[in-house]
Amino acid sequence: MNLSRRRFLWHALWAAPVGVVADAAVVEPHWLNIKTVTLAKGAVRHRFVHLTDIHHKGDEAYLRRVIAEVNRLKPDFACFTGDLVEEAKFVPPALEILREVQVPLYGIPGNHDHWSRANFGPIRDAFAATGGAWLQDRQMLIRDGAINLMALDRLPARLVADPARFNLLLMHYPEWADRLPGLSCDLLLAGHSHGGQVRVPVIGAIFTPSDTGAYDMGLFETPAGPLYVNPGIGTLGYSIRFNCRPELTVFEI
Ligand SMILES: [Fe+2]
């Protein structure tokens, strides 16, 4: 091996891990992925955005960029599946930005919203101001009655599907899809897992929180219907993501 080749390999050896760390800590946490999932068999009747797990900790520029992207996509409505914050003090700045959503925004709380002991009153008002709603164990008809929107906060679920409508269920914990006896949905949306935040190529997530089960990220078939698990907008703990970009999911149904 000549000297220049040896020098190249030496540089590559230390550059690879430095690159991985730089990607995970600097690039990926704010490298928003826009993913489209088309479930409609024929013409698309409704188009909406799913976002989840914002975990706002004060990075207002990033959250403004996310919301601007939601508006740019011009969906019919948007769904949020929990974990707006980890600490109650970040609710007001988060809501100031969420109020800029230009379509009806429907949402449910996540475990961190509950644990933060945040007052849900202002959150309810902010979601209502968009024309949407902050829902806890409630359901409502939207899109001129075409969609039965069900919002699950606590088990056991007291929600009722309607075979004559598109049954869309919002929940925080993916694994709860296995714990909804008798409930048949056209689509369930969840967050919570963050996709693991760090995903080793081929192997996948090296850690997921409890109540994720086998449903760590993406589209799955479950006993309650098709479940989509979004890897989230923010991060839990350290601001690190690897092979697991933050995501806005556009659904066409
Ligand atoms: Fe979360």
pTM for the model stands at: 0.93
What is the pairing mode between strands 147-151 and 138-142? antiparallel
Tell me the CA–centroid distance for residue 224 and ligand 1, in Å: 22
Report yes or no: 193 and 216 within 8 Å, Cβ to Cβ.
Answer: yes
pLDDT class of 15 with cuts at 50, 70, 90: low
Tell me the CA–centroid distance for residue 200 and ligand 1, in Å: 20
Q: Rounded mean pLDDT of 213-221? A: 97
Q: Rounded mean pLDDT of 223-234? A: 98
Tell me the CA–centroid distance for residue 232 and ligand 1, in Å: 7
pLDDT digits (tens, 9 = 90+) for 109-136: 999 999 999 999 999 999 999 999 999 9
Tell me the CA–centroid distance for residue 192 and ligand 1, in Å: 4
What SS3 class is residue 245? coil
Instruction: Give the domain 31-252 fold.
Output: Purple Acid Phosphatase; chain A, domain 2 (3.60.21)
Tell me the CA–centroid distance for residue 236 and ligand 1, in Å: 6
pLDDT digits (tens, 9 = 90+) for 47-101: 999 999 999 999 999 999 999 999 999 999 999 999 999 999 999 999 999 999 9
Phi-psi region of 193 (alpha: psi -120 to 50; beta: other; left: phi over 0): alpha
Give the model's pLDDT for residue 62. 98
SS (H, E, C) 71-140: HHHCCCEEEECCCCECCHHHHHHHHHHHCCCCCCEEECCCHHHHHCCCCHHHHHHHHHHCCCEECCCEEE
pLDDT digits (tens, 9 = 90+) for 36-61: 999 999 999 999 999 999 999 999 99
Give the model's pLDDT for residue 80. 98
Q: How far apart are CA 100 and CA 85, in angstroms?
A: 18
Tell me the CA–centroid distance for residue 194 and ligand 1, in Å: 6
Tell me the CA–centroid distance for residue 191 and ligand 1, in Å: 7
